[in-house]
Structure 1
Amino acid sequence: MTSAKSMHIGQRVRVLLPGFIVSAVVAAAATFLSEHYSAPVMLFALLLGMGLNFLTTESKCKAGIEFTAREVLRFGIALLGMRITLEQITALGWQPIALVISLVAITITVSIAAAKILGFNKLFGMLTGGATAICGASAALALSASLPNHPQKEKATLFTVIGVSALSTLAMIVYPMIVNWLHLSPLQAGVFLGATIHDVAQVVGAGYSMSPEIGDTATVVKLMRVAMLLPVIICAAMITRMQGGDSTGPRPPLLPWFAVGFVILACINSTGWVPTVVQSGLNGLSSWCLVIAISALGMKTQLKELATVGIKPILLMVGESVFLILLVLTLMHWWF
């Protein structure tokens, strides 16, 4: 029995390994380009992956690419829990917490409504709104893994990742100019940058380029937004259950395993018992998993499909980013 099981596992590894190795090589190339050309690594991973989409027709790589795009992605999302602690969230007081909860809820709601007005599925609005309001490409991938299957879901996910990565890079350059133009205090500047820029890396880059104080505040506010990933995933999972398709089959879990892993790791990290080297290692592993997974997703996508998206999705994502800026400035005016 044990021998048969071992043989099955070994056979499964041999089937999945070629696709995983190819995805990892693409991720390494994307990381190299990102470090040398100062552009989002997710964007490079997607573009390089799409350039190798012919590999999904090869039987030796197809299964591993499918596995990497699904399971490695979810493992990387679970490890995001090691980025946050309860102490970080509570240290700034109630105002940033209330601001983050409000901006996430309002932005996603408005995005869903805007998507319906523009003729898209409301789930596309949740996907783009979640990516804009929470943590960029990571949120887009996490929400995509939680939402019901749809013929256009992978195409929508990849477009969202590309769009939010491009907008996040632009925000890292432009938003500090907005801070200076509005003459915001260091606390207000940190809250603004942390609450509006999409990806963690760009928040860190923009915040610390202005001052250590602004960088510290921006990073903590951004991690509060990352913490909002869990309740939004639960909402997405509830939608999946309600739209589960075949009622005779097993219903999808209310709380996906990677969301459970996320909250468990966040609680463990909050104890302060995790050595810094372990925390850094797991954060690095999470980043690697997400880049490898997005490389695999890119390989599953045809460039000509993304070229047909039209102007409306672009307008939706740009509009969401502008709305988020105005919303954060309004809430800051009331609470800070």
Structure 2
Amino acid sequence: MSLYILLPAIAIAALALASLPALSAIGLSALPLAILLGMVAGHLVPVCHSTGEQWFSRFSQQKLLRAGIILFGFSLNFQQIAAVGWQALLLDGIVISTTFLLGTWLGIKLFKLEPNVAMLTSVGSAICGAAAVMATEAVLKPKQRDVTVAVATVVLFGTLAMFSYPLLYAFSGMSELAYGIFIGSTVHEVAQAVAAGQAIGEQALQNAVIVKLMRVMLLAPFIVLLSYVVSKKQSAKDNGHRLVIPWFVAGFVASAGINTWLPLPELLSSTFHFGSQLSLAMAMAALGLNTRWSTIRAAGAKPLMLAGLLFVLLMVGGFGLNHLLIAKA
């Protein structure tokens, strides 16, 4: 089957499945579904790999991904930050920096992973799951296998977080409002944070979504900073220094700014949202289609161990930070 037909078909199928109440209730969003469907199709459906189709696969995985992230910015606005206070923004910043730095260090020093695998796994846990992994790929230029392994780990442990957080609420001693902030600041994917918050209550859901979207917005400065660090290391080799900021970061911030100061008509906003989801789903479908179970098995248990350790760090460390920084509502 031609990739020109298969990739859009997988993306549309993932969007349709994600809208089913049974799947949305357990936090399965279109992006993880697109990856899974792509992986299944890659093993079961004979795919022609002509030069043009290979180009289309790379275009979907790279250009459409960045376009989807820019369009996703229209779903955010800077007023959401003010709604929960500067403490929540500080909390998100600490969670992201601590998870990424500690995860990268542990991955390289303790688990002896390749730096790209350690960084991609850590950034997926720290910010927003698969989307953060794919955005960071634009800076690191890793192997396909590294991206696949990182996405698989964050989907696995993000799903575990989605089910475990509601179960732990009764033992937390936190108010519903405060627990929503805890969910938003530590759960991996946006859909998973929504599902976990919804299982507790409306107030928890609202704060979980706002704080989680704040974490997503911090992806832009993170990518800029990482690009600076990577370019600085590169300058040691060629005696030059050139900071390359991925173009989609500026687009992401600009679209969020437009949505803040120039509210869009509902029809246009819905169109951008659908375009974002379709573009991102096609990117994930292309990733899944090029993924083989043998690739994940070959990576071994160490990436899973790192992701599991970060899952515990987010839950335990995030709980402590929330008690320290967020006033009990």
Aligned residues of 1:55 and 1:62 also touching (Cα < 8 A): no
Q: Which residue number corresponds to residue 27 of structure 1? A: 11
In the alignment, the residues of structure 2 paired with residue 219 and residue 34 of structure 1 have an alpha-carbon distance, to the nearest angstrom, of 18
Tell me which of 52, 77, 80 is aligned to 1:88.
80
Output the aligned Cα RMSD. Answer: 2.4
Structure-2-length-normalised TM-score: 0.88
Q: 5 Å matches for 1:21-100?
A: 21-36=5-20, 38=23, 39-53=28-42, 55=47, 57-100=49-92
Aligned residue pairs total 315
Aligned residues of 1:19 and 1:63 also touching (Cα < 8 A): no
Tell me which of 281, 294, 300 is aligned to 2:290.
300
Residue 80 of structure 1 deviates from its aligned partner by 2.3
Q: Which residue number corresponds to residue 333 of structure 1? A: 323
Residue 303 of structure 1 deviates from its aligned partner by 2.8
Tell me which of 210, 231, 243 is aligned to 1:220.
210
Aligned residues of 1:31 and 1:41 also touching (Cα < 8 A): yes
C-alpha distance after superposition, 1:108-163 (max 9, x if no partner): 1101111112111333222112111111111111111222x23xx32121222222
123-132 vs 236-245, greater mean Cα deviation: 236-245
Secondary structure, counterpart of 1:57 in structure 2: coil
Q: Which residue number corresponds to residue 103 of structure 1? A: 95
Aligned residues of 1:55 and 1:61 also touching (Cα < 8 A): no
Q: 1:73 to 1:253 in 2, by over 3 A?
A: farther
Q: 1:207 to 1:78 in 2, by over 3 A?
A: same
Q: 5 Å matches for 1:51-200?
A: 51-53=40-42, 55=47, 57-117=49-109, 118-147=111-140, 149-150=141-142, 153-200=143-190
In the alignment, the residues of structure 2 paired with residue 56 and residue 105 of structure 1 have an alpha-carbon distance, to the nearest angstrom, of 43
Residue identity matched to 2:98: I
Aligned residues of 2:124 and 2:188 also touching (Cα < 8 A): yes
Residue identity matched to 1:216: Q
Q: Which residue number corresponds to residue 198 of structure 2? A: 208
Secondary structure, counterpart of 2:129 in structure 1: helix
Q: Which residue number corresponds to residue 310 of structure 2? A: 320
Aligned residues of 2:95 and 2:186 also touching (Cα < 8 A): no
Note the residue ranges of structure 1 that are not aligned, 5 or more in a row: 1-17
Aligned residues of 1:186 and 1:213 also touching (Cα < 8 A): yes
In the alignment, the residues of structure 2 paired with residue 166 and residue 28 of structure 1 have an alpha-carbon distance, to the nearest angstrom, of 23
In the alignment, the residues of structure 2 paired with residue 247 and residue 68 of structure 1 have an alpha-carbon distance, to the nearest angstrom, of 32
Aligned residues of 2:138 and 2:246 also touching (Cα < 8 A): no
Determine if the alignment matches structure 1 residue 258 to structure 2 residue 248. Answer: yes
111-120 vs 274-283, greater mean Cα deviation: 274-283
Secondary structure, counterpart of 2:291 in structure 1: coil
In the alignment, the residues of structure 1 paired with residue 286 and residue 242 of structure 2 have an alpha-carbon distance, to the nearest angstrom, of 24
317-326 vs 159-168, greater mean Cα deviation: 159-168
Q: Percent identity?
A: 30
Q: 1:252 to 1:136 in 2, by over 3 A?
A: farther
Aligned residues of 1:82 and 1:266 also touching (Cα < 8 A): yes
Residue 52 of structure 1 deviates from its aligned partner by 4.0
Q: 1:300 to 1:217 in 2, by over 3 A?
A: same
Q: 1:49 to 1:218 in 2, by over 3 A?
A: same
Secondary structure, counterpart of 1:323 in structure 2: helix
Note the residue ranges of structure 2 that are not aligned, 5 or more in a row: none
Aligned residues of 2:64 and 2:283 also touching (Cα < 8 A): yes
Residue identity matched to 2:38: G
C-alpha distance after superposition, 1:246-284 (max 9, x if no partner): 978x98762111111001001111114222332232122
Q: 1:245 to 1:76 in 2, by over 3 A?
A: farther
Aligned residues of 1:200 and 1:222 also touching (Cα < 8 A): yes
In the alignment, the residues of structure 1 paired with residue 75 and residue 119 of structure 2 have an alpha-carbon distance, to the nearest angstrom, of 23
Structure-1-length-normalised TM-score: 0.86
Q: 1:68 to 1:243 in 2, by over 3 A?
A: farther
Q: 1:87 to 1:35 in 2, by over 3 A?
A: closer
Aligned residues of 1:45 and 1:294 also touching (Cα < 8 A): yes
Aligned residues of 1:20 and 1:68 also touching (Cα < 8 A): no
Q: 1:242 to 1:52 in 2, by over 3 A?
A: farther
Residue identity matched to 2:118: G
Residue identity matched to 2:89: I
Aligned residues of 1:146 and 1:237 also touching (Cα < 8 A): yes
